[in-house]
Structure 1
């Protein structure tokens, strides 16, 4: 009896890094579940959107960020009608439709610097046809209000410095200058 060789046995084994591309992205567990970033991805093309969601989740894993998603959000459907021609041919019209698909990826318990690095990495390697919008939350220690009160005079001085450059409320000098100009000999000779 002859031993049959199946096609799977002859196939060359792929490296583990390549094999992992065919699996779901790895994920970290959140300790406290405090949201630090909501990333909304938008696209007209579903395959591009799914690919970039997978890419973003893998990047979050390697930056030690607990990522949750990609949650499908309601699609946005836009429709409009345009006349094909003008004047008496107005009844011949054409309809157009554009559907925007959206996904949400949420980062919980992420360090603010790691989240900023993750967002910069995604922006640097942005995929064509994908729009991104991120809401980022940063948390401070207790007593931040007292610290803001201490910084208030310095901030007020900086604001006053900028505001005096506007000069809208200081019209006295301008009015006097215009009157002097109108009463001058040179203006009377040219106007008269």
Structure 2
């Protein structure tokens, strides 16, 4: 009975293979061998598939696209923002965030430009005395990116930096160099604002200067014979 059942199962399997007719990709050169790895869809295909089912706002769609930029008219540098981090993902993410924030503040931006890495190494002995040759090496690599603002309003630049400080990303340090430009008649404007500065700083500047009793010219011995030094002489 067992042998008859196995023969019937094998016969059914052969009949199924004939009906299905599975093509052999190795023997047929016209059919290339399908890759086992899944194909990664492009962002345009993903957004198109999402747009058919749901309606995404433009602010959400902009996340998956390149950041928009303003075009500089004169190309005059106003601010250099340097970002530092120990991981590539953090510094690249925050650099992209800074570029997008500059666009909505109407600031022409260039970058992020990768700067040379800072490599620091230390050698520490694990033990002392006869085991002094057993040492351990440590290395720390600092990654840097440069984001430059051109032809920007100083108030808008200050607002941009304050916005980045408020939404600072963990593991990313910031260092900004700001240049402020003024007209050629800056000397006249400073002379006009001098009386107002003297009024505001008059109470503070009154505490600086020489003592009135030291304004009289005296000899060295006259100064030593003064009452101020009489008590010190007896010590």
Q: Fold match, TM over 0.5? A: yes
What is the CA deviation profile of residues 38-79 of structure 1, one whole-angstrom value per residue up to 9, with x for unaligned ones? 101111111000000011011101111111100001111111
Asked if 1:70 corresponds to 2:115, the answer is no
Q: Give the Cα separation in 1 of the matches to 2:74 and 2:107.
A: 13
Question: Relative to 1, partners in 2 of residues 1:87 and 1:14: Cα closer, same or farther, differing over 3 Å?
Answer: farther
Give 1:1-192 correspondences, 5 Å limit: 12-13=53-54, 15=56, 16-149=58-191, 161=206, 163-164=208-209, 176=226, 178-182=228-232
Which structure 2 segments of 5+ residues have no match?
A: 1-44
What is the CA deviation profile of residues 168-187 of structure 1, one whole-angstrom value per residue up to 9, with x for unaligned ones? xx6x9x9646523236xxxx
- TM-score with structure 1 length normalisation? 0.77
**Residues paired across the two proteins, number:** 174
Question: Relative to 1, partners in 2 of residues 1:90 and 1:107: Cα closer, same or farther, differing over 3 Å?
Answer: same
| DSSP 3-state at the match of 2:144 | strand
Question: Relative to 1, partners in 2 of residues 1:177 and 1:29: Cα closer, same or farther, differing over 3 Å?
Answer: farther
Q: Give the Cα separation in 1 of the matches to 2:111 and 2:181.
A: 22
Q: Give the Cα separation in 1 of the matches to 2:227 and 2:71.
A: 71
| DSSP 3-state at the match of 1:95 | strand
Offset of 1:147 from its aligned partner?
A: 3.1
- TM-score with structure 2 length normalisation? 0.64
Over 6 Å off, 4+ runs: 7-10
User: RMSD of the TM alignment (CA)?
Assistant: 3.1
Which structure 1 segments of 5+ residues have no match?
A: 1-6
What is the CA deviation profile of residues 78-106 of structure 1, one whole-angstrom value per residue up to 9, with x for unaligned ones? 11101111222111100011110100001
Answer 1 or 2: higher relative contact order, Cα 8 Å, separation at least 6.
1
Considering fraction of residues, name the structure with more strand.
1
Please say which structure displays the higher CA radius of gyration. 2
Offset of 1:164 from its aligned partner?
A: 2.6
